[in-house]
Amino acid sequence: MQKKHVVVLTGAGISAESGLKTFRDSGGLWENYDVMEVASIEGWQKNPELVLKFYNERRKQAYHAQPNAGHLALKELEKYYKVSIITQNVDNLHEKAGSTNVIHLHGELSKVRSEKYEDLIYEWGDKEIHLGDKCERGAQLRPHIVWFGEVVPMMEHAINVTLSADYFLVIGTSLNVYPAAGLINYLPATADIYVIDPHAHELPIRSNKKVKLISEKATIGVPKVVALLIEEATKQEH
Ligand code: APR
């Protein structure tokens, strides 16, 4: 029997219990930086050293972070469903947990790219980049991150994936940032939606029968929902 399709939209909240701060819980400041100074194209043009310092720190921190029970439960789901993870996170905790189909809407901390030739992308681990570090064609290296004010190249692909969802899990995102937050509008009417977030009831999602709000942390809520979905899949097999 063909596996049903679970599409998962994750945000900073799923990585919170792995020690990576969420954006909103830090009161709009990341490690005491103003987001528009370090995560926008204007910020890069105005003060590239500050931006490089900010991402060098976050790249090191994410490199040493470990996936938590939320990430690991999503990996487990792959045994029973086709699972597509669409993440706003720039850490690689879904990959570290073993998920095999991860779409990064906002880029990846572990990668850097040429400022001029954007298809020149390099795996950078936890190393730093500084002004004067060049790509193989002599242009400045920059974080492989989608900054505020830049287009989201993977959005069309994410929409196509969402169109075929049987289930849609929203985990650890305040749904404040577009176009990512708009994905929910592309869901088939038949899709069941699960929202896992301690503040699930405050999120901008009209709750109806198809939406189940689980006001739990990811390490509690995600394994719960995954167990439910696995039970459903195994029931259908018999
Ligand atoms: N488990 C699950 N959810 C949690 C947890 C947790 N342990 N802790 C916090 N949350 C929830 C918060 O309630 C909030 O709804 O995670 C969400 C985090 O929201 P944001 O900090 O806004 O993160 P996110 O939605 O991913 O931000 C989107 O904005 O900062 C930019 O580009 C950046 O990708 C980011 C985008």
The model's pLDDT over 97-153, given as tens digits with 9 standing for 90+, comes to 999 999 999 999 999 999 999 999 999 999 999 999 999 999 999 999 999 999 999
Ligand 1 contact via 84 beta carbon (within 6 Å): no
The reported pTM is: 0.96
Name the residue ranges covered by the structural domains of the chain.
Answer: 1-20+67-106+152-238, 21-64+109-145
Instruction: Decide if pLDDT at 25 tops 80.
Output: no
What pLDDT does 27 receive? 63
Ligand 1 contact via 223 beta carbon (within 6 Å): no
Mutate to test the pocket of ligand 1, among 174, 214, 215, 222 (most ligand atoms within 8 A of CB): 174
* 3-class state of residue 157 by DSSP: helix
Ligand 1 contact via 71 beta carbon (within 6 Å): no
CATH code 3.30.420.40 for 1-20+67-106+152-238: no
The model's pLDDT over 156-179, given as tens digits with 9 standing for 90+, comes to 999 999 999 999 999 999 999 999
The model's pLDDT over 196-237, given as tens digits with 9 standing for 90+, comes to 999 999 998 877 778 999 999 999 999 999 999 999 999 987
21-64+109-145: CATH class: alpha beta
Q: Which tokens sit at 104?
A: 């990064």
Rg over CA atoms, the chain: 18
